[in-house]
Amino acid sequence: MFAITQAKFIKFKIVSSIAFSIVLCGSSSAFADSGNGKKLFSERCAMCHGTDAKGSGPLANKSEPPTPDLTRMAFKKRLLDYPGVIVSSVILRPNGDLIPKTLRENGVKLPSHAWTVKDFRDLNEYLTGVILEK
């Protein structure tokens, strides 16, 4: 059996709720704004993942491990198996402090962002389109 901290449990509940909201409401264009998703990705993610989501951004090789190519078949499969993977990656940061550390070490200062369910839905809609079209 494993012990789970209260903070991890709360994060799990938040991610589950948001992922459920995305699935419940769907990621159709009726509910999601791919343009806003692209804007969020460009402002907050492309510096590492690149505008093509292939891990080709200017900071891609400045972290250990390097930024992954999100268009690889393995990630496409993960996205299809678990549609909430994009949202959970943003919230849970499975690599811990890797992203903030890489930004700090390279002098990049991102303003804080108060993520909304709509932002997550929009980012999910945009990235799902980018990842699955390749």
In a domain, 11, yes or no: no
pLDDT tens readout for residues 11-59 = 666 666 666 555 545 545 567 899 999 999 999 999 999 999 999 999 9
Q: Give me the pLDDT at residue 17, please.
A: 61
In a domain, 9, yes or no: no
Cβ 15 vs Cβ 87: under 8 Å: yes
Helix (H) or strand (E) holding 110: none
Residue 106 lies in a domain: yes
Instruction: Give the pTM.
Output: 0.74
DSSP 31-55: T--HHHHHHHHHHHTHHHH-TTSSS
Integer-rounded Cα Rg, in Å, for the chain is: 15
The count of structural domains within the chain is 1
pLDDT of residue 27: 46
Q: What would the pLDDT profile of 57-98 be if each residue is shown by its tens digit? A: 999 999 888 899 999 999 888 888 888 888 778 777 777 788
Tokens of 82: 């678990």
Whether residue 5 is contained in a domain is answered as: no
Specify the pLDDT at position 63: 87
CATH number at residue 50: 1.10.760
Q: Is residue 99 part of a domain?
A: yes
The pLDDT, as a whole number, for residue 13 is 63
Q: Please check whether residue 4 lies inside any domain of the structure.
A: no
Residue 62 is classified by DSSP as G
pLDDT at 43: 94
Nearest to 15 by CA among 124, 130, 125: 124
**Which structural domain, as residue segments, surrounds residue 86?**
16-21+31-133
